[in-house]
Every structure is written in C-alpha cells, then in structure tokens.
Amino acid sequence: MKESYVKKTAQAAKWIWDRKERSVDWNWPVLTKHNPDPETLGFDDIISFQIFTILERKGLIEPFVFENNGRQISSFKLCLHNEKEWEFIQHPPTGFRKVLHVILWFFGGVWRSILWVLTIFLTALLTLIAEKLLE
C-alpha cells in the first residue's frame, strides 16, 4: 500500500509540475475524477487528499484563503522555488538508491554515518588495547 502512495505521489507531482504555469485552483480535487480536465489523473478522493497533505508537509504547496463573492475559499499555491525537492518527489529512489536513502536518512547524512562507523571501530580498538594492558 505504501509503495502505491509513493508512485501515485510521484505521478501527481509530475502532473502538477507539468501544469504549473496554468491557472488552476490547486486543491486536492484536481487529482480526482471530479476534475473536468480530460488529462486528470482520476485518483480516489482520499488518495488525492493524502497526496496534497504530503506535498504540503514537504513544503511544495502552501495553503491560502481567498474571498470570492463574500465566501472564504481555501486553496493551495505552488512553491516552485525548491525545484530539487520537486524533482526528487517526481522520481523517488528505487532499489539500491532507496536502501541508501533510508540509511542516509537514518544516520542523518554521509559524514555522520562515517563518524558513527569510525567511533565503533575506535571503541573496539580501545577496548582491545585496554584488555591487553589489564591482563
């Protein structure tokens, strides 16, 4: 189930990015069958809402409220300044890149990972030396 969310989020991000110049009410229904655009993705309502939640958490869209005929309407604006994040979400890592991405995320980066391994090695070496000296 999670894998399908990753693929659908990537597909939706690409669809949105390709239409970023259009005047569109950017809200989750644009990804559903309720969108009259013949190129709509036709996702379920819940999946579309979740995808917009993911995009908002990643800072790719921002909510805003505007007034139309005395009614307040909620929508989203696209944050196009972070092209690297848009590119990443459109092409999520797969295979070895996915494993590497999880490892790097877990350890907080390459340098922390290297430092962590060196610390373990140094601790083992010092323990071995201390044991030899105490014999």
pLDDT per residue over 9-21, tens digit each?
888 989 989 888 8
Number of domains into which the chain is organized: 2
CA distance 76 to 95: 33
Clarify whether residues 110 and 120 are in a common domain: yes
Clarify whether residues 22 and 55 are in a common domain: yes
Tell me what pLDDT residue 109 has: 63
CA distance 10 to 6: 6
Provide the angle, in degrees to the nearest 10, between the axes of the packed helices 83-90 and 2-18. Answer: 130
Clarify whether residues 64 and 81 are in a common domain: yes
Mean pLDDT of 65-71: 84
3-class DSSP string for 87-130: HHHHCCCCHHHHHHHHHHHHHCCHHHHHHHHHHHHHHHHHHHHH
Clarify whether residues 13 and 23 are in a common domain: yes
Domain that residue 112 falls in: 93-135
Confidence category of residue 88, pLDDT binned at 50, 70, 90: confident
Mean pLDDT of 79-102: 78
Confidence category of residue 1, pLDDT binned at 50, 70, 90: very low
Clarify whether residues 101 and 70 are in a common domain: no
Q: Which of 55-59, 103-107, 115-119 has the highest mean pLDDT?
A: 55-59
Percent of the chain with pLDDT over 70: 90
